[in-house]
Amino acid sequence: MQFDILIIGAGPSGLSTALHLAKHAPHLTDRILILEKEHHPRLKLCAGGLTADAEITLQRLGLDVSEIPHVDASAAHLDFAGKGLTISIPNKHALRIIRRNEFDAWLANKTRDKGIEIRENVTVKNVQPRDDCVVVETDAGTFTAQIVVGADGSNGITRRCILPNEAIHTARVLEIIAPEQDVIARSIALSGATTGSEVEATATRQSTTKQEIASSGVPVHSLRSLLNHHSRNDTHKSEDAYFDFFPVPDGIAGYTWDFPTQINGEPKRCWGIYDTNVLAYQKRPALKEPLAEEMKRHGFDLSAYEIKGHPIRWFSPFNQFAVPRVILVGDAAGADGIFGEGISIALGSGLIAAKAIRDAIAKNDFSFRDYRRRILLSPLGQALTIRTGITHILYHLHWAWFQKFFWRVFKPVVAATAWLFVLNWAKRLR
């Protein structure tokens, strides 16, 4: 089976590449095939936090993500041990949270609407670039293509086939979806009640009856003991998103998160922990304990929920992103190191890839010699390079005093740097 442009992976990066090709080179639309090993809607482990850059990239494609279920976090808190920097944007949400099964299926439908074929349940096994084509072996036969786009994520086969000896940076990530039910406990804690009778009184005030407390499975005596876990002044508001860098001094180069989310319209919390692994040369502490500790502080019992893990490959400006006839996008090229944020980057990298493909076909030059330069010189590449630098500095300076200083005292500089150099690249990406 012969195709001009074969995209491996129908996640945000592969679908964005196809959608940007449809926009910037519509004559190529019927020459694209996307291969996807799963079937949409499929599960993808991800907290689903969309930054403004993701929304801007989608808007420029004429897409309105508010068509799908989402929760808007009014503020994002970047804390060290419960205290730090709050990001909020007047009259706007700080972070929009989607579920990836819904988001990716929606984006796949928008791609199909452009007349682009997505062949699902096809797993790519091998990618072999040759002088005159690329041979792609799958469990559904062998395909040949002029150009292949590796959009197959952090664990993808494309990078492993074309750049087997590249140094890679991989972060460890754990995620939990907790029911909002525990919020009964949290809202009582928020009210500041400190005795058992106050807990009950507050529960009643908040129209949470004793029966509801009983049916929540959280007995009053545990609510009281829960309040004792709030010795730090760090109660979480249900409408906000939280990042807490308290694990860094213990050798975990990352943070815990707590986002509001929803599943089938039911409010939920998404908890997780991220470790870039930049301190792994010292020790490699387990991730579960600090996450359990943080969840317990907020009235959640980690052991009650299913815990899932997945690596995230993060970006290095020293990596290669292409070989002749094959280019990488999204996580396959590298996500953000500081937070492991990758949806906006996957969407933005699709634009860079689409223009590189359009020009390669126009010039009949499939070397992709300039692809790395295109990435690094783009506003997205510049932001990613700065983020990689910050990742190394922020996490190597892992002492508690530095982390406190950075998130609590240095915050005007941190906020200005984030605004100018880390975020807001999408408007400038052409």
The token duo for 411 is: 């915050």
Gap between the Cα atoms of 245 and 171, Å rounded: 15
Query: Least separation, in Å, of the C-beta of 154 and ligand FAD?
Result: 6
**Alpha carbon distances (Å) from 142 to 28, 138, 145, 159:** 22, 6, 10, 18
The token duo for 226 is: 């829960």
- Region of residue 265 (phi > 0: left; psi between -120 and 50: alpha; otherwise: beta): left
The token duo for 196 is: 């058992």
Nearer to ligand FAD (CB atom), residue 46 or residue 203: 46
Nearer to ligand FAD (CB atom), residue 345 or residue 394: 345
Query: Least separation, in Å, of the C-beta of 183 and ligand FAD?
Result: 20
Show the beta-strand stretches assigned E in 152-276: 169-179, 241-244, 254-263, 266-275
Query: Least separation, in Å, of the C-beta of 237 and ligand FAD?
Result: 18
Query: Least separation, in Å, of the C-beta of 182 and ligand FAD?
Result: 20
Backbone angles phi, psi at 6, to 5 degrees: -110, 120
Gap between the Cα atoms of 13 and 123, Å rounded: 17
Using alpha carbons, select from 47, 50, 40 the residue that is nearest to residue 11.
Answer: 40
Residue nearest to ligand FAD (CB): 342
The token duo for 73 is: 């976090």
63 neighbors 110 (Cβ within 8 angstroms) = yes
291 neighbors 306 (Cβ within 8 angstroms) = no
The token duo for 154 is: 């952090």
Using alpha carbons, select from 313, 383, 385 the residue that is nearest to residue 348.
Answer: 383
Alpha-carbon torsion (302, 304, 310, 314), positive or negative? negative
Nearer to ligand FAD (CB atom), residue 143 or residue 406: 143
Nearer to ligand FAD (CB atom), residue 201 or residue 423: 423
Query: Least separation, in Å, of the C-beta of 349 and ligand FAD?
Result: 8
Euclidean distance between the first and the last CA atom of the chain, given in angstroms as a whole number: 34
State whether residue 299 is helix, strand or coil: coil
Query: Least separation, in Å, of the C-beta of 55 and ligand FAD?
Result: 11
Query: Least separation, in Å, of the C-beta of 80 and ligand FAD?
Result: 20
Nearer to ligand FAD (CB atom), residue 82 or residue 330: 330
Contact set with ligand FAD (CB under 6 A): 8-14, 35-38, 44-49, 123-124, 151-153, 156-157, 173, 175, 272, 310, 312, 330-332, 335, 340-344, 346
Nearer to ligand FAD (CB atom), residue 402 or residue 421: 421
Query: Least separation, in Å, of the C-beta of 216 and ligand FAD?
Result: 27
Nearer to ligand FAD (CB atom), residue 131 or residue 306: 306
Query: Least separation, in Å, of the C-beta of 407 and ligand FAD?
Result: 19
Angle CA(264)–CA(270)–CA(273) in degrees, nearest 5?
A: 155
Q: Can you give the C-alpha Rg of the chain in angstroms?
A: 23
The token duo for 224 is: 């009281």
Using alpha carbons, select from 260, 249, 292 the residue that is nearest to residue 273.
Answer: 292
Using alpha carbons, select from 193, 109, 147 the residue that is nearest to residue 31.
Answer: 147
- Region of residue 285 (phi > 0: left; psi between -120 and 50: alpha; otherwise: beta): beta
Nearer to ligand FAD (CB atom), residue 124 or residue 422: 124
Nearer to ligand FAD (CB atom), residue 122 or residue 227: 122
Nearer to ligand FAD (CB atom), residue 73 or residue 81: 73
Query: Least separation, in Å, of the C-beta of 198 and ligand FAD?
Result: 36
Nearer to ligand FAD (CB atom), residue 76 or residue 203: 76
Query: Least separation, in Å, of the C-beta of 201 and ligand FAD?
Result: 38
